[in-house]
Amino acid sequence: MRVADFFCGGGGFSEGFRQAGFEIVFAVDKWEPAVKTYRGNKPGVNVIQDDVIRIANLPDEEFEALVPDSEVIIGSPPCQSFSHSNKSGTADKSIGIQLIEAYLKIVARKKFKQGSCLKYWVLENVPAVKDYIKEEYTAADFELDGDFVLRPHDGASGKYNAKYYGAPTNRERYLCGEFPEPIKTKSNQDVTTLRQVLDSLGDPLRMDDAPITDINYPNLTLESNQVTDQHYIYELAEFEYKTAKRLKQDKGYMGKMSFPENLDKPARTVMATMTASAREAMILGYGVGRYRLPTVRETACMMSFPIDFWFYGESKGVKHTLVGNAVPPKLSYAVAVAIAAAENEPVPKEYIPIQHEQNNEQLQFFNLNGAKFEIRKEQPKKKTAKFKYHIPYLIYSAYRVELTNYHSSFESGAFKWNSEIHYSQGKDKAKVLTPRITKRDIPSVLFVKIESFIHEISRSLPTTNRRFQKLYCMTTEDRKAAERLGPYELLESIRQFIDDTIPKEDQSKEVEVIHGTNLPFAILVGYYTMSRIVNKMQ
């Protein structure tokens, strides 16, 4: 059966169909590295670099001349605007909707034309996209002639998690269209884990003729030095992994994430950008107290790309984007197998090795094997950098104590640092408190310790807000060399002081402070202490 692939990316969606014995006859994407990757791994396919919206609106004669007939159409429109990882899902959806409707228009033009051979079509995207795809589209919606109705959500449409279909990644996606329901091949008890992926590939720095057997395709074995984009290390600097750890495990009310990654579960969703200092950063342990990012090949295996699949990008970042934007081949393979079963078509019993494009000067392959990456050095922040964070790992009854410079006049350079108590989150529940707490609210013995702590720590702090802002903008190493504390060091010191002076069982005990408002004792002490310190810098 023939397959046409729109928004084809590097070819993850069609890779599953190729493995199931389907004939890929056409593919299109707008991004050059994706087109090159597709062409390099599927040399017999007519893959073009073009705009799907333009193609969807071509006159009939041009449209039919460009897009061949096929029994199957697949497509994965770009999902960035629908992803919850994009500004909490608040990004502009209009462009994403245009891309989806362009794909649906192509499906409709092929499905409802006279003599159509199209039997199956699939759209893949993030789960949130479901709310932006209408229940039905008429010919008029697509500005086409006819009285047809396209119903995208019929049949087996729904959420599918790639880990249940053989991919070692906890990647949930929404599939809709006309296709039979794919059969799960894994359960929670036997899903492939991140540890299995890493163990199968071995030490990234070992590049020799030792065999590597693909964890996802047991009959595929290559010599280690033949596995591309695997043999290098990208180690993280201390400031990078500390930032990532803080965001993963102490991000207010967002759930805690493993640091480093939990090796005994499938990999988390592989992102299109392999960042080092973000909450979503995928970080692996690398010896004692050291950390690294996964290689391109490791993430590709997490996504179930076979180890003989090459990614044609001129940088590590481009290659990671090719991987992270893809449909896991094992998931698409499950869909392809279901279609083949419905058509009584045979499926190859073993993995079919990729025949790469050879002797094509336009497909110069850049291999990351042997590449050297220097550990990054922290750079100073811009003078008007903003700051807002709480005393680390100190949240009781939804209260936390924050240090912020958000009340500054950044344009005029009038910096102001404040201590605040924040309660809960969201428009309806969130509150900011700045109660007046005095020594009468604190036991006398503890008050003496607080005063002593403030006196001692003030030696490492400036006397003005402006100078504290300057310290914040310096690198961690520069602050250490100057024997001065910045905001993060101050917060960590206060947290340590609280742990050293208040028994754990007393930290959450509530005490009344204002108008019947009760605060956990550690929150009260943290706020009072930080307020006193900040006020000394006025």
Closest CA to 331 of 177, 42, 126, 124: 124
* Pairing relationship of beta strands 2-6 and 72-75 according to DSSP bridges: parallel
CB 229 within 8 A of CB 295: yes
The alpha-carbon radius of gyration of the chain (Å, integer) is: 28
Instruction: Tell me the C-alpha distance between 92 and 173, whole Å.
Output: 20
CB 75 within 8 A of CB 125: no
Give the chain's end-to-end CA distance (angstroms, integer): 74
Going from the C-alpha of 406 to that of each of 191, 287, 528, the distances in angstroms are 46, 39, 19
Q: What SS3 class is residue 28?
A: strand
Closest CA to 74 of 179, 183, 182, 185: 179
One-letter amino acid identity for 346? P
What is the per-residue DSSP string for 375-387?
PP---PPPTT---
Selected catalytic residue, list 79, 117, 176, 473:
79
What is the per-residue DSSP string for 280-308?
T---EE-STT-EEEPPHHHHHHHTT--TT
**DSSP H or E segment with residue 41:** helix 32-41
Structure tokens at 34: 């994706």
In sequence order, the 6+-apart residues with CB closer than 8 A to the CB of 253 are 395, 398, 424, 425
Closest CA to 257 of 493, 85, 376, 490: 85
DSSP 255: P
Active site residue 117: no
* Pairing relationship of beta strands 418-423 and 431-433 according to DSSP bridges: antiparallel
- Residue 296 half-sphere exposure, CB side, CA atoms within 13 Å? 29
Closest CA to 486 of 500, 501, 464, 470: 470
List, by residue number, the catalytic residues.
79
